[in-house]
Structure 1
Amino acid sequence: MKKIKKYIILLIISVQFVLFNSDVVYSQQYSEYEVKAGYLYNFIKFVNWPNYSFDNEYAPFVIGIYGDDPFDDILENAFKDRTLYDRKWLLIHYNTLEEINDCNLLFISGVNRTELLKVLDVVKEKSILTIGDNVEDFCELGGIINFTKQNSKNRFEINNEAAMNVKLVISSKLLSLAKIINKNENRF
């Protein structure tokens, strides 16, 4: 019964991805990062941020990318004309640690372990949903969600303890689909 429930929720998330991006519907094949863009959109819908995460009611929902940007224009096209929590959204590419400030979601890709530790240290007390792109030990080191590959399929793991530490609340529906990593080891 529990497996059936997981598959139903995964199916709902997948259908929502297809419906929210009509350009992708007409193509016969989805790229890995078109699928991941859909996951990001749905992760956002299944996570609650504290009110103080936004300067005011009109502040945009800020998605930051640090490291490699494997999406090219996929995120811009997928989120075009969409709102996130009734807010416009803004995509920012960060090139240095000093630039990382008040984003709501930070996608981290193509960084080495030393740099990852520095990034996680910069955001450790901020209500930022950190998402790794198949980054080794991402959740064990304090990241919140990490894309992984299992039998050539995209999967994800979640460190719910790290999310709670920064006052992010992840829906039990999303948690039920993930491999849970509740380790927030000393990173130094």
Structure 2
Amino acid sequence: MKACNNRFDSSNFIGKGGFGCVYLGRFKGQKVAVKVSRNKAEQQRTQFDDFTPKLTDFGTVAPEGEHLRCFTEGYRDPALTDGAAGTKPNDIYSLGVVILQLIMKEEKVTVPGSGASSHIMDWARSSYNSERKHAVDQKLIKKGCCRQAARAITLLGLECVSDNTRERPTIAQVLRRLGDLEGN
């Protein structure tokens, strides 16, 4: 990620999102937006050095000094009212959608016009409440994700998309729980 945007050079600065600065980069010939982690601890840097990225289009980032409210459907917290400023719990909702996408290996977040269960969180809840007790894709289970970790990561994703914003974990809690799961 450092190479694709010239080591987060200030000339590539686009703007600031809910959890940090966003930079313009190039990856395999395509323009991408890259966010640097706020945590500068050595442990945090080494954890991300071995991370295999999954790049997804989330929509728009506000340029520095501007306040742009634009949301990608499916990632937008339903608790966010039109015209309201986004909050950290709203960002956690979006993160929960991404977590569910990754563990379910599902690119689509919503299926327009498909009825009541048209959002990824509905699919995940259904799997979690079934006999399986998790929503992790079977390919990931076969690659070594244990069922206990599958249940824990599914629960984390579902807590992030909770209808009650007060029940959602903080970003610190999400990071701690992901760190706890790293060895599983």
Give the TM-score normalised by structure 2.
Answer: 0.32
Task: Flag the structure with larger Rg.
Answer: 2
Question: Whose RCO is larger (CA < 8 A, sep 6+)?
Answer: 1
More strand by share: 1
